[in-house]
Amino acid sequence: MRTGSLAAIGAIREHGEVPLVHLDDLSDDALIVPLSGIGAPTVSHEMIHSADEPKRIAEEIERLFGRPPSAIMSSEIGGSNGVIPVAWAAQLGLPLLDADGMGRAFPEVQMVSMYVAGLPADLVIMSDIVGNVVTIRPIDGLWSERLARAVCVAAGSSALMADYVLTAARARGAVIEGTVTRAIEVGRATEGAADPLGALQDRLGAARLITGKLTDVERRTTGGFVRGTATIEGTGAERGRRLTLELQNENLVALEDGRVRAMVPDLITVVDTETAAAIQTEALRYGQRVTVLAWPCDPLWRTPKGLETAGPRAFGYDLDYVPVEELIAHG
């Protein structure tokens, strides 16, 4: 959990600061490498990445494409996957692209903007802690996931993976831009603020769904995901209200009195009312004083293909997607 930021801080100290580049700064044929760590969470707390893993992948890319990569990109800005690419970029001496593949966090690998934009999942490059490098040429996304998983298990349930390696030209419209800057702005706005919650809400343009107390969390583990329901009861001026959240690693649907107040792919976040620090679904606990915020996702997720990939039905909810701003306006 803190491993990502420790690795980033250490790598910056050793190799220097990581420049942030925008897509417009890169020439059309510049190679962008989306990087992510894969493996079992229990293993990742013990088997920490080797500092050499990103190097092996960069070398392989140079062999395959005839030129070195120009920038590293986070596949998922949400959670630790948004922080640790800073370490990888520092170790490689490469800039970090001000973009990611989700603009949020999602639990499944195909839920990335590159897939929604129709880019083929025909190349996966993986490296492990001892220096093995595996290049996979899968026929589709399903095989990509299946083969990458098998390699990961053989490598001791810990590996680094680059998929959807793409040129800057192809990245335009296929990645979600500005998300690293946005994350930094959120941090700057809330850290040390007199009213962190207000600062966070302003910065995100988020609606406040409820402020109250977490009164119930019910979890069940199925198929590697933690599914469940969390209930928040209003306190103070909001006494008597009750919001429930449907969870599947992320907060997917917010309901009140049987009505949907926000739904995936729009963002729903539970934060500590006092500090405005986000509380991840596995850390939700009875008695926490929380505020639930919701705000619009990137427009890419609102396209038909985006909703098919990561809309409510992709997670098994029989709901027609309605944007959060409309739900709030009519609430």
Partner 1 sequence: MADLPDLRIGIDVGGTNTDAVALDAEGRVVAKAKRPTTPDVTEGLRAALDAVLAELGQGQDRVGRVMLGTTHATNAILERRNLGRVAVLRLGAPATTSVPPLSGWPDDLRAAVSAGEAIVPGGHYVDGREIGPPGLDAVRRFLDAALNAAAADAVAVTSVFSPASGEHERAVEELVKAEYGLPVSVSHEIGSLGLLERENATVLNAALYGVAAHVTEALVTALAERGLGARPYLAQNDGTLMTLEHAARLPVSTIGSGPANSLRGAAYLSGVRDAIVVDVGGTSTDLGVLAGGFPRESAAAVEIGGVLTNFRMPDILAIALGGGTVVRSGGVGPDSVGYRIAGEALVFGGSTATMTDAAVAAGRSPREADGWHERLRTAVEAGDVPESTLKRAVAVADEMVIDAVDRMALGRTDRPLVAVGGGAFLLPDDIPGASRVVRPEHAEVANAVGAAIALASGRVDTILPTGDSRTDAIERAKEEAAARAVAAGADPSGVEIVDLIEVPLSYLSEPAVRIHVKAAGPLAR
Query: Where on the chain is the footprint of partner 1 (CB under 8 A)?
Result: 2-3, 6-7, 9-11, 39-40, 42-43, 45-53, 87, 91, 129-131, 149, 152-154, 156-158, 215-216, 221, 224, 285-287
Could you tell me which of 28, 250, 31, 50 has the C-alpha nearest to residue 162? 31
Give 240 or 287: the residue with its C-beta nearer to partner 1.
Answer: 287
**303-312 long-range contacts, Cβ below 8 Å, gap at least 24?**
303/116, 305/116, 305/118, 306/116, 306/265, 307/265, 309/110, 309/111, 309/115, 309/116, 310/106, 310/111, 310/116, 310/264, 310/265, 311/264, 311/265, 312/252, 312/253, 312/263, 312/264
Give 130 or 169: the residue with its C-beta nearer to partner 1.
Answer: 130
CB of 87 to partner 1, least distance (A): 6
CB of 19 to partner 1, least distance (A): 20
CB of 43 to partner 1, least distance (A): 5
Give 150 or 184: the residue with its C-beta nearer to partner 1.
Answer: 150
Q: Are 272 and 289 in contact (CB under 8 A)?
A: yes
CB of 319 to partner 1, least distance (A): 28
Q: Cα dihedral sign for 312, 317, 321, 323?
A: negative
Give 66 or 223: the residue with its C-beta nearer to partner 1.
Answer: 223
What residues pair up with 227 in beta bridges, in sequence order? 220, 248
CB of 179 to partner 1, least distance (A): 23
Give 26 or 134: the residue with its C-beta nearer to partner 1.
Answer: 134
Could you tell me which of 213, 18, 36 has the C-alpha nearest to residue 109? 36
